[in-house]
Structure 1
Amino acid sequence: MAPAIEEINVTYIGILIGSEATENHLTNGDTVEKKNESAPEETNTTYHGIPILNDGAEDHIMNGDSVEKNESVHDEDAKTEKSDHELRDKAPDRKYNHNHEPYFEERDSAEVETPKQKDDWWRLYSFCLVRFCPSNPNKSPTTSLYVNAQTIRQLLVDVIGKYPGNPIDVDDACIHAPYHPLFYYRRELEAEGLKRLERGEDGESLEQLNLLLGWIKSHFEAEIAALNKCIANELKAISYDNLWTLFPPNVIVHCKILDQHRAFRLKEGFYDTQDENPGFVTRVLFVDFDGESLGTRRLELSISKFTGTRELKDLSVVPLALREKTTEIRKELFDRGKQFESYIGQHYLQYNAIALKVEPNGYSRISVNGRVMIDCKTYHRCVADDAFTVTTNNPQNRRAARKGVPKTKFSDEKKEYKKLSDDDFLLTNATVRGFCFAEQAFLEFFVDDLYPIEWNSSCFDNLVLDPSTKKTIQALATTHAEVRDSFDDIVQGKGRGLVCVLHGPPGVGKTLTAECVAEYVKRPLYMVSSGIRIGILFLTTNRVATFDEAFKSHIHIPLRYTNLSLDSRTQIWRNFCKMVPGGVDIDEKGLAKLAELDLNGRQIKNAIKAAESLATFDKVKLDLDQLLQVTKIQAVFEKDLTRRSEIDYTALGGTKKDTDHGHMFL
């Protein structure tokens, strides 16, 4: 079975580069016939341009003419001999054998002597337009411009570089149709090229540059005119076919999402003809924070296909520089970006606006009026299906982003994040993620609607409470909120919490007290309920006789503890007092007096901890009087617990049973 034919039409535009040979100049439209016997796959090659060989006479042939060349190239040291030229309007076929080696064959019946040249003969020309015709009839032909002139290659690399989908390589510069990189960077190529070559002695490279610039202007004549007309006219409008001219790579584009001004950096733009709703698609980047790192995220924005022309103000996506009121929009985006940067990490803020909640089919809107905690890291841990990972310059983070794996790093150190640039401020997300205490839900909040909390510093003044009790609460809350080395437990890190029991009849200020403490220490107040905890569970109780049979069957091993003796209590007091930073002003007589109190180990530890907070608050050294003051408060509580009758809440220490209870955490 005969192999399929791959046809390649090669059009040469430019200057043939060689050595020790005759110079022959061909202008655009000329053809050169070449012939070589060999095998199957077909390629059509047309030469257009100015072939030049160094050190020889010059022959100029005008557009439309064709020339036959009969030359022999044996090796690198052999000289090219000039042959007679005959004007013909023909082109040879360039074919490939099974090893993908090129050869040439005459396309018509006329007999022409063709030169034998090296396989890479086409590299002698500055520019080559190559048309690839696939053997599959369902595939459309493609065309590429190959740049062989080294000086122009380097210019393209320096000016265009890694163009999305068509990166320019200095060793093999190839630009695929429709040659958009040349359109977008035509001004930069001209400015930089003339800057490099006009003052030098490389006249050949300057001629190559002018040839390329002329071809660009000729090829994109209609598009350049349409774009200039769109920008220059007061009524800015453009057709759908010329829409691509507005979107060079890396341009900052603007659109509105959820009624918020947004700016993005364009990665690439293209016409999507495969979708049911065809349109022009822009792939863009914006700046976001994933709880671990600052980086970029990707998004696709599209403009639906339209007929005729459309004003830029009516397009959903447009370069920011072409928007009306560009200056005002840039300032708004910049200010929001600065605010976004300040909300990186955990922040307790006020929010009075619409928030977004993730749902199976998108987002729902929730009206929020209250305090929220901005915390993207916890949001992603608790709402894992809505988590994202940004792309950063860190290779490890880039791999994680490609795999969609959230990065996890455990550290007690406060992390410092990179500073955003002025352009980055424009590109930040319009929302941040966190938790709403009023809704008890993780939501997204608009940056523009977040404000610092106005704390009520006089809340304790309005709280009707016994002065001694109020002072104790203030001292405990203040010292616990401070980050400092203080009295802890025998096991380091244990007992870091602060648990308070507020008992009494309804409406006497229990919840208000918790709210005042939250205001006083500037922490969020979060109400929770008790529930099942999975893991190793230790149950401690002094009412084992109340366990029913079903409950007892769930216990793997029971361990019995006895009450503390007087000596044991004395030693515990002594041990805990030694652990207090700065020591305790107490002697053995004072320890003996404290040991007479019928307290268990936990009560002793809590008494010392509370007394130490009082001493710190009063800026004095802990002594026996402060310890006795705290144990007196504890004694009232213990007395209330042991009463069989109802507690008298009209007296100091409290008329009815307290049935109002709950759990609140700061």
Structure 2
Amino acid sequence: KKSHLNHLIRFLKQEYNETVEKQNKTIEKKTVSFDMLWVSYTKGLEVCKCEMSNQQISGTIFSTERVVKMINFEKVSFFIIIIKVVDYDGHGFKHCYVERKIREFNGEKSFSDLSVVPFKFSESHDFLKETIYCIGKKFFELAANRHFMEYTGSLFRWTKVNGCYEIEAIRADGRVMIDLKSFATMNPGYPMDNAKPPNPLKQLDPIANKGKGCIFLCYGPPGTGKTLTAESVAEFLERPLWTIGVHELGTDLAKMEQQLVKILDIAFTWKAVLLLDEADIYFEKRTSDNTKRNAMTGIFLRHLEYYQGILFLTTNRVMSIDDAFRSRITMCFHYPKLIPEKRKEIWKNFIDGADLDLNADDFSKYELNGREIRNILHIAQTLAKGNNEGITKDHVIKVIRIAQEFQEDM
């Protein structure tokens, strides 16, 4: 038996002598050719780097495979790596599997340039280990519970195109709600096979919960502070603000009701301030000639009856609201058209907030709402910066006149 084993060892040394020499050079230079990936990426190997975000993650190789695919009528080889990682699916921590592809390339590449990097070939192994340990610890602390936190960094938005997910990184500084269980409910199509949405109906059924919420209606012309009121209440109560509109709820009756139930349930769970902004279509007066709109209004009336959280509704068409909504509304706030004194206050707040050398008295005579004032100051600042100048009264007046010309043309 020993002699047989010696024969096998000699055979393997002769058969794979060239491969071993190449692998020794790979280890020394930390570069690899496509044909040698199968030697460097073996089952159980610890790897790092998230191709999507370029941030460091940790996992172990579960399996590898070389495949050939037809792309634009041309055969292209790929090295497929299946990585086992730990994730949280809204119910508990468990293993899941992530697939990464390395497309065939010519010559040699540094491991750091590939979508999957083995720990042993990283340039700062110990530092990397410590970084990933800290990230993992933070993930463990945040994943299993709900957290309302301040965030600085990027988020990754994905869209499905021809069966593939396209990832876009966008800046997302601000306050965020971390709740993976509710995320699974609202995004069942998220590309994680083990994310199962919980039952979203449990908080909304009991008759005992009827009428326990606070529903506020803010009505008045645009730019008078309706949305700002909801934002201020959320700020004062130190609660998350969730703004929803027609684009999130849609107008398909079945889908709209499902989405509304999910949103109301999650908002109540978060103790969030919910803002339904300019969504007059959902609570317009019912008429005999529009059954679909009547059904949408009925759906909203039924579910708002049992909502137990804080909800703000905003509209600039209060006369079109269905009479049945009045009994559901806890309190109404009227926002009249801005008078010069109020416009002056708004100008002053924006000017002081941006630390600008301007006088609010110079602009309060112009009939503008709060949103228009903010936009005008922003454009005037951009205009001055483009000319390498400090912002002046003339810059602001110029933008105001352009805005007025546009309103006249409308």
TM-score w.r.t. length of structure 2 = 0.49
Select the structure that is richer in helix.
Answer: 2
Higher Rg of the two aligned structures:
1
- For CA contacts below 8 A with separation 6 or more, give which structure has more relative contact order: 2
TM-score w.r.t. length of structure 1 = 0.32
